Structure 1
Amino acid sequence: MSTTYDQPVSPAMVADAVRGHVGGSVDAVRQVDGFVGNQDFLVATPHGDFVLKAMGAHSVVAESWACGRAREAGVPAPEIVAVDLDTAILPLPYLLMRRVPGGPVDDTHEAIVEVGRRLRALHEIRVEGFGLLTGDPEALGGPAPVAPRGRESSWSDVIARPLSDLDDFVARDVLDAALAERVRSTFAVNTSLLTGPRNGVLLHGDLHPRHVFAAGDQLSGIIDWGDATAGDPAFEFGRFSRVGDASLDLLLRGYEPDDAALVRHTMVLYRVLWSLYAIGWEVRAGGDWVDGHVAAVREGLDVLGG
């Protein structure tokens, strides 16, 4: 299976690309850890610091669109400086964005309350389809640009996708058979809680404190929109709930969900679902960061009594 690491991007290539977009010199380029399917770089220049993400073209289009729509809604996503899909400079498509000032918050930073407030606006943005966004590179910049859409036709398809991978996870010794059966039975019992919205809305898709930046006491940005998703707002809380109750309480205080008790139960199911997705992404991309996700699946099932 081909991954982005079959087409390595060097710091020298990145420096050339950034100079072409911002002009002047580049002081330093440093590769940073990220998802195994991306190659990410922090670039320092006299014009400020930038982040370059090299990845598949569909992902570049989807992430750049999600950041732009979020910013229009008042959500402090990164400012996109350039999108390049032609691979003339780098061997992979990439997007270049300004680095958000400040740094990641800890789990109890008050900026998380403000994130909850901003999510309310984000979750008003309708998106076609359901699930992870994918963008059409051919439509970008055309006379009638086509917005990215979710990859699935229904929310039930989003839920079914990782459940259909359970046998493969067992075969790969990622999950044991008993745990896989617990997952199946728990989701079967709770089907009525997972109907999802009639229309998908824009979700960050991978929200946690490391992706929340603050400068002092103030929220300065929400980074890493590579998992932007069309779906159920409670799925956002399910992902975030892996951080722990104290941090989740701050987020929900800012968001003020209409039915907090129902959201809290449903989001545990979604926490398990997101963890199953994460296992699949790692396995298919050739990564091995699965132990934490497996532990989260087991813990979530314990909470649900499954």
Structure 2
Amino acid sequence: MDEVEVVVAHSERATLRVGDVFLKVDADQARIDAEVEAMSLAPVPTPPILWRRPPVLALAALPGTTLGRLGGPSTGSPAAWASAGAAIRTLHDAPLPPRPGRAGRSVAALAAELDEECEALVVNGVLPADLVARNRRVAEAALRPWTPAFTHGDLQIAHVFLEGGEVTGIIDWSEAGRGDALYDLATFTLGHEEHLDDVLAGYGTDVDLDLDVIRAWWALRSLLAVRWLAEHGFDPFAPGCEVDVLRSRM
């Protein structure tokens, strides 16, 4: 029998791999419903659903490899990063899904969450006050009106698989829905800013692409993630991860 590999696990959900099958265990049935719905609507390759028995969703493994991970070395040619950018554009140009996604929080709600989190980071001594204040100012540019798009909502580079320079599939759709397209682009290039131009070459520049907003999302996403990651067994202070992203804004 194949070994069971724990891909990711925390108090909210866990993903296990057994051979060529991924088992996603999630106590939140609505989150699994949203993931299945998003995969059925997305105009890009997604993992085939093998079976579903709540609270478990079984998915087939995708061919190919990712372009790396946050905190690790970036891999792949400029053409591969551009191919990923083209797939992201295809998603963003698709008809809007019925649900709002993680990238679709209102400006007011996001600003309130950001203010609360920044205060907690400083009061609890997690990060220096000047680092938080500087990144809070940078993040301000993301708090603006935006045109809704079909967004993935958690488009880390570890969630996009390629083979032969072509995207073979995108995984983890539980945060998908209507949202800000620049949030996806920022998430995909977080910690790998040197590949932003390659991604945008594939995505296309015939739309409103404000680089200051993408940089703002790097800061905003990192500020909101640091405490959650630390509390769930991850290390945002590891080289190349969220805290380094915040320091790079200094």
Structure 1 residues 270 and 187, CA, compared in 2 at 3 Å: closer, same or farther? closer
Picking from 69, 77, 81, the partner of 2:50 is 81
CA contact (8 A) 1:130 1:155 kept: no
- Over 3 Å counting, the alpha-carbon distance change for 1:107 and 1:100 in structure 2 is same
| Match in the other structure for 2:115 | 163
Cα distance in 2 for residues equivalent to 1:216 and 1:258: 27
CA gap of 1:286–1:102, structure 2 versus 1, over 3 A, is closer
Identity %: 28
Shift of 1:242: 2.0
**Superimposed CA distance per residue, residues 165-224 of structure 1 (whole angstroms, 9 cap, x where no aligned partner):** 111122332222222222334445x4xx632325x3222223243322223343211223
Q: Distance in 1 between matches of 2:110 and 2:177?
A: 10
Going from structure 1 to structure 2, the CA distance change for 1:30 and 1:201 (only over 3 Å counts) comes to: same
1:129–1:166 CA distance, 2 compared to 1 (3 A): farther
Flag the structure with larger Rg.
Answer: 1
> Aligned AA for 1:34?
V
Does the Cα contact within 8 Å between 1:64 and 1:83 map onto a contact in 2? no
Q: Equivalent residues in 2 for 1:89-104 (5 A)? A: 93-104=55-66
Among 250, 259, 264, the residue aligned to 2:211: 264
| 2:167 equivalent to 1:219 | yes
* Count of residues in Structure 1 that have an aligned counterpart in Structure 2: 237
For the 8 Å contact 2:41–2:97, the answer to whether it is kept is no
Where do 5+ consecutive residues of structure 1 fail to align? 1-26, 86-92, 134-149
Query: Aligned-residue CA RMSD in angstroms?
Result: 2.6
Alignment partner of 1:50 is 2:21: yes
Task: Structure 2: state its 5+ residue gaps.
Answer: 68-74
1:17-66, CA deviations, whole angstroms, 9 ceiling, x for partnerless residues? Answer: xxxxxxxxxx424223325343211122xxxx211111232322222222
Could you tell me how far apart the structure 2 residues matched to 1:33 and 1:126 are? 30
Identify which of 87, 90, 97 aligns with 1:118.
87
With normalisation by structure 2, the TM-score equals 0.81
User: How far off is 1:277 after superposition?
Assistant: 2.7
Shift of 1:128: 5.1
Instruction: Give the 5 Å matches for 1:2-41.
Output: 27-34=1-8, 36=10, 37-41=12-16
With normalisation by structure 1, the TM-score equals: 0.68
Q: Closer, same or farther in 2 for the Cα pair 1:131/1:225, shift >3 Å?
A: closer
